[in-house]
Amino acid sequence: MSATIVGIVGVAVSSIGWGSNFIVCKSFDMKDGIVFQFWMCTGILIVGLLTLLASEHDDSSKGEGGDYLAVFSLVTMSGGMMWGVGNV
């Protein structure tokens, strides 16, 4: 499967699921949005850390496992910052 098809499928799935996390909250008394925001951000952080741990790592270092290939991009970090500020 080509990268273009995978990208289109990913965009279609994400656009259908956009905002669906708030549907579950309608049946609960959330009191304020800060608690929900805290738990949602905590869940996103945990998924991000698990994704980092499951990502590929460099095996070229003397057969001892290697380092994780974490990439910190300025565009990605600024997008996360704008998303967090927008949620506040």
pTM of the model: 0.50
The per-residue pLDDT for 62 is: 52
Q: What's the rounded Cα separation, in Å, for the pair 88 and 27?
A: 22
Instruction: For 46-79, give one letter per residue: b (16+ CB within 10 A) or e.
Output: eeeeeeeeeeeeeeeeeeeeeeeeeeeeeeeeee
Name the residue among 45, 43, 47 with its Cα closest to residue 24. 43
Q: What percent of the chain has pLDDT over 70?
A: 80
Residue 24 confidence class, pLDDT cut points 50, 70, 90 = confident
Please, which contacts does 77-84 make with residues 24 or more away whose CB atoms are closer than 8 Å? 84/41
